[in-house]
Structures are given as structure tokens and as C-alpha cells.
Structure 1
Amino acid sequence: MSVNSEPRRSMLLMAGAILANGAAGLLYVWSLFILPIEASLGLGRADLGLISSLALISFTAGASVMPAILARIGRIGVACIAFALIAGGHLVFGLWPSWTALALGYGLGFGAGSGAAYAFALSLAASLPAQVRAVAIGVALGAFALSGILLPVTLGGWIAAAAPESAFLRIGIVVLLVGLFCVLAVLASGASRRDHEAQTVAATAPSIDRPFLVLATIFFMLCFIGLAMISHAAAIAASAGIATPGYAASALTLGYLAGSILGAPIAERLGERPALMALGVLALLGTLAMFSASPALFFAGAAIVGVTFGGSGSIMPVLLGMRYGAEHISRLYGRAIIAYGLAGLIAPDVAGRLFDRSQSYAPTIGLCVVFAFTAIVAPLLLERSSRGR
């Protein structure tokens, strides 16, 4: 079998996608550093909260601009930039521990690098043959979710015991090694240094039209529901009288993983409208169940909300490919992910403000129910596509 044969090429590109999204999943480790950095540098929670917001904004920006950069410098160049930013963001704080180093290195550098790595992983999966593309997208995005589950569990004890700057240094060095393996895998797949085909696709990318805006709006509403629930999961469970509120985040995260892996292939089978309406129905049922005082019903609802949140990110690339062509998935999803960024900035804050005003999460759940119902109806605004169903 030659190195450029299709099966081996697909395996190497998938390895690159999994490694890239595994590194991007470090985004979820930040919460473990809050207490150690607070104690080490004497920073306040508001200062550290700003770092998290910077990282989210940078993540969205990195994912949005990655397709344009890919068209100019090719896959190898993008992989090098993404991993350099992820590793560099950790190394800067490790060498010069300060709030400024956190803001510039982690908040801006790492955030942009992780977003670029996430979109880069999607572009690799989307470039695979049609018969395996949906499964590949699900696996690639599932790697991001699985990394977000495993890394906090495996690194939690070590991070709590180590000095923050030492932990950042070691993580940065490991990321450089992971990046090297990712670059070697993509290079061995036969990827050229400069992807002329990507340049042609970028020049002919579809403009933003009404169907795209409908899809992006649905994406925003589903992400809002997921992020509002995840950011306040334990507090919502406690307010509902659940005796073990800490398990709420676990149920949401496991559901998110399942939705990320299964969403893309299911969307390919169901088609555009049925897949979107099914997610809306699940979001509605899950949100209503989280209003229950029954632990079994509450945790089932949390898992379902997690499925819709993970599923929304997984099905959107497939639906964009069905409507506009697989060659435009990366660039169009880079635009659509802005909806995720907006939801990430708005949802946790809105949920907190609504609780402060009413001392109840009922208004937040009510708003999520409205969004879920809208997500069920909104697909009816989509005209039939000649590509999709």
C-alpha cells in the first residue's frame, strides 16, 4: 500500500484531527487553575473571569479566521500556527507568571490557537471521502469533547498540587510534542505545503444568505440552552432540591460527548429539517425535565440537554455541506461558530442576572423553553436544497 493510498491518507488525516482537537480540549482545564493561580498571584475572581472571557472570544476568532489562513498557507502551516499558539500561551505564563502573561499568552494566544486547532480538525475530517465524512466529523468533534472530559479528571490532582507556572510549562512542552506528531501525520498524508485547491474554494465560497442565517440562529439558540445549563448546572440542581447537584455537570458533559460523536452521522441520515427539529424537541424535553425535583428525571434531562448542545456543533458542519457543498464546510462553519461565541458570552451572564433578580432559575428555564420551541419551528423557514433533503 502506498503512503498516498486513500485508506491510509484518511487514517493519517483523522489522526491529525484527533490530536488537534485533543489539544484544543485544554480549554476545559482552565477552571482547575482558578484556585491555584488565585493563591499564587493574589488575583481576584473577576480578574480570572476576564481571562476566561478573553479565551472564549479568541477561540471564536481563531476558529472563524482559520479557513482563510488555510487557503493562504496550507494545512501544515495552519497546524504549526495553532500548536505554537496553544503551547506558547502556556509557556509564556510558565516563564513569566503574571496577570498580563495570562491575558496575552493564555487568553489571547492559547484561545486563538485552540479555536484554530478546532476548526483545523474539522477541515481535515471534512476533506475525507463522502462515505466516511459524517462519521469522521463526529469522531473529530468527539475528540474535543472527550478531551474536555478526560483532561480535567486526569490532570485535576496534579494541577492542585503543582505550582501553576510549573504546570503551565509542562503542559506547553507536551503540547509541542503533540503538535509535532500532528504535523507529521498530516505531512505523511500527502498534504501539500500550499493548498491551491483551498485557495480556489475560498475564492468561490457562498455568500451569507437567508438559509445560512436561519441555520446560524438555530445554532445560537441551541448553544445558548446548553451553555446556560452547563455554566449553572450544579446551582440549578441545588435549587431544584437535588441531593447530589455535582452530578449535573457530569450528566451534561456525557450527553455532550454522545451528541458530538453521533450527531453528524445521524444528521446525514435524517436530512436537514428533521435533524434540526429533532434537536429542538430534545432541547425542549431536556430543559423541561431539568425543572423537575425528581433526581432521575433531572439528570436524564441534563444528559438530553448535553446531547443537543454537542449535537448542534456536530450536525451543523454536515448540514452546511449538504446545502452548500462539502468543499465549503470549513469556511462556512468558521462563520457559523460566531453564534457559539455569542452564546458563550451571553448565556452564563443572562442566567446569573435572571437568578439574581428572581432568586430562581425558573426564568432561565422559561427562556430556554422559548428558544427550544423556536428551534423546532425555525427549520420550516429553510427552503429545500438541491443538495440536502
Structure 2
Amino acid sequence: MAGAILANGAAGLLYVWSLFILPIEASLGLGRADMGMISSLALISFTVGASVMPAFLARIGRLGVACLAFALIAGGHLVFGIWPSWAALALGYGVGFGAGSGTAYAFALSLAAALPAHVRAVAIGVAMGAFALSGILLPVTLGGWIASAAPGSAFVRIGIVVLVVGLLCVLAVLASGASRRDHEAQTLAGTAPRMDRPFLVLAMIFFMLCFIGLAVISHAAAMAASAGIPAPGYAASALTLGYLAGSILGAPIAERLGERRVLMALGALALVGTLAMFAASAAVFFAGAALVGITFGGSGSIMPVLLGLRYGAEHISRLYGRLIIAYGLAGLVAPDIAGRLFDRAQSYAPTIGLCAVLALTAIVAPLLLERSSRGR
């Protein structure tokens, strides 16, 4: 559990990127399009890293994956810190850190999923919650320093801290004896089941929920400002806090409610949240943003539990590595579509309306799921 928390805490640096946009632009003379490309590259690499992690786990074991993930995360920061340039940012942060973050995210899930059944759902929730923790703690504790420090210096220091955290993660895995059970775990897991109809339905629902979350989170402050909401920056804070709550509570709630009910509940929360963002009231708008955050974070911790209920806990890591492709696709299209819709209408109403339609579809889609012999 300690190893999972440390791994996902480091992976969660992915959500701290916005803090560096203005300092790096000023330091290197880059434009917002250049910075957007780096963010997209990191997200693509994250998806690839999470998707291939189970294959690496089967070949080099838990200790090898832990070392690989933290080497990529730390190295990605150090490369830019030592040689600050757009190319170093693209290769070091965009490719290296992005892939390392995705690997660490999937690795944390595999550690939590390997715990005994009576604590597994809670462990998955806590591990997924750790992913959001960096995005909350770093802006509060180091936001001012990051804004004023030279970007290269900040990246070097973060890289060094990540190496220390990686060492602690490796020691945690060693102390638990998990590395000695690699062969046994791989033998039990075998080959993951094929992507049948229920899996594709789950992937479709996951894509829709991630589209809503990423469309809103990438434009949250701008949405609030466009609606005339005072202090629009609080929209991102509301989203992040909702994301953390959904991540921690989603998995154990999924275990109790079962497949259809929890997915329909997620869709309902997303629908209420997006509709609330039509409001001119700041309180209602921020509450809606928090609900969208809950559904976005909740989907990330709920889906592994549902995969375990339907296909068996031993297949969670491999199947989630496939399912997360839906997250990557949503990340590629959602922020761009939201921006294009705003440019055409000079309003975020079409984006919010599209998210509401997707949420409504997510409420109905679980009815397509066949009853499982394992889940409810």
C-alpha cells in the first residue's frame, strides 16, 4: 500500500503542469500552442506507459517496473532542468515523464489490486486518490516558489525529490516481500480475457465520463469567467477536490452497489454537475464543477473494481491497461473540441450541452451490460 501511494503520488505530477506554463513561456519565449503540444505529448505518453506496464511487469517484475517508472519521471524533469529547451521539454517531460507517470499509475493499481479481497477496494481508492494529491498539495505549498523560480532549477529539484521518493517506493516493495511473489502472481493472471461486449460497454462509458472531466478541467477557469462567475480560479480547485473525493470513495462504493447502479449513479452526477454549470450563481457553478470532479476521479477508481468483479481480480492490471486507452482518446479530443466549440459560439454553452448529452448517455449505457456471475 505504501508503494502504491508513493508511485501514484509521483505520477500525479502530471496534473501540476499548469503551474509551469507561464514561467516556461517567459523563460524560453514559447507560445501557448507550443505548451499545449507538450501537454498533449505527455498525455499520449501517459496512456502508452499505462497500457504497456503489465507487459513490463511480466518481464522485469515489480522492482524492475518501480525502478523504470521513477527513472523516467525523475529523468524527464532532470533532462529539461539541465538542458532547458523546447526539445528537451518535449523529449524529457513530454515523452519521458509522461511514459513514467503512466507506468507508475498502472503500477500503483497493480500493487493495490494484489492486496487481499477484504481491503482491495479501499486500497484501490486510496491509491487512486494519491494520484490527485500532488495536484492539490504542490500548488498550495510550492505554487508561489514555482511561479518565481527559474523553471530549470525547479525541474532539477523536483527530479531529485522524485529519486528519493522512488527509493522509498522500492524499499516498500522489498519490505512487503511482493517482489518474491511476482512469478506466482503472473502464473495466476495468465492471459487477460478478450475484449468482449461488456468490456467495450465499460470502455465507452469510461470514455464519456473522461471526456466530460477533461473538457471541463481543461477549461474550468475560462468557463467560470465566461459565465461571469467571480473568482473563476476556484473552479479548478472545486474540480480537484471533487476528483480526490471521487478517487478515494469510488472504489469501495462500487464494491457495495455493483456494476449497473454505480455506473448509472456516476452518469447522474455528471449530468447534474454539467447542468449546474449553466447557472449564473457562483455557488451552484462551483458545486457543479465539484460533481464533475467526483465523476472524473470516481471513474478512475471504480472501473478497476468493476473489472475485478466481472473478470477476476487477477486480471485487473492487464484489463485496465487496455481500458485506459479510452482515457487517452478522451484526452486527445475533449480539450480541443471544447476550445473549437467556444471559438465558434463565443460561449461554453455548446460544450456544456455536449457534456450533458454524454452524461445522459452514460446513465443509459449500463443497461447494455449483461449480468455477470461475479458482479451484481
TM-score by length of 2: 0.98
- Which of these residues, 18, 27, 35, is aligned with residue 31 of structure 1? 18
- Which of these residues, 302, 325, 334, is aligned with residue 347 of structure 1? 334
1:229-378 superposed matches below 5 A: 229-378=216-365
Deviations 1:211-242 (CA, angstroms, capped at 9, x unpaired): 00000100000011111111111121122221
**CA separation in 2, counterparts of 1:243 and 1:93?**
36
**2:15/2:132 contact within 8 Å kept:** no
Q: Does 1:19 align with 2:2?
A: no
- Which of these residues, 124, 127, 131, is aligned with residue 118 of structure 2? 131
TM-align CA RMSD: 1.1
Please name the residue that 2:200 is paired with. Answer: 213
Please name the residue that 1:111 is paired with. Answer: 98
**2:16/2:134 contact within 8 Å kept:** no
Please name the residue that 1:167 is paired with. Answer: 154
Residue identity opposite 1:49 in structure 2: G
Residue identity opposite 1:98 in structure 2: S
Residue identity opposite 1:237 in structure 2: A
Deviations 1:360-385 (CA, angstroms, capped at 9, x unpaired): 11111111111011100000000000
**CA separation in 1, counterparts of 2:225 and 2:89?**
33
Gaps of 5+ in 2: none
Residue identity opposite 1:30 in structure 2: W
Deviations 1:231-258 (CA, angstroms, capped at 9, x unpaired): 1111211222212212111111111110
Which segment drifts farther, 197-206 or 313-322? 197-206
**CA separation in 2, counterparts of 1:76 and 1:214?**
34
Between the two proteins, the alignment pairs up a number of residues equal to 376
Residue identity opposite 1:308 in structure 2: T
Residue identity opposite 1:303 in structure 2: A
**1:126/1:326 contact within 8 Å kept:** yes
Which segment drifts farther, 231-240 or 333-342? 231-240
**1:73/1:195 contact within 8 Å kept:** no
Residue identity opposite 1:140 in structure 2: A
Shift of 1:356: 0.7
**1:74/1:193 contact within 8 Å kept:** no
Deviations 1:176-230 (CA, angstroms, capped at 9, x unpaired): 1110000000011112368223433453210111100000100000011111111
Q: Does 1:44 align with 2:31?
A: yes
**2:7/2:107 contact within 8 Å kept:** yes
**CA separation in 2, counterparts of 1:130 and 1:57?**
32
**CA separation in 1, counterparts of 2:159 and 2:184?**
33
**2:258/2:375 contact within 8 Å kept:** yes
Which segment drifts farther, 240-249 or 95-104? 240-249
Deviations 1:317-346 (CA, angstroms, capped at 9, x unpaired): 000000000000011011111111111111
SS of equivalent residue, structure 2 residue 115? coil
Q: Does 1:183 align with 2:170?
A: yes
Residue identity opposite 1:375 in structure 2: A
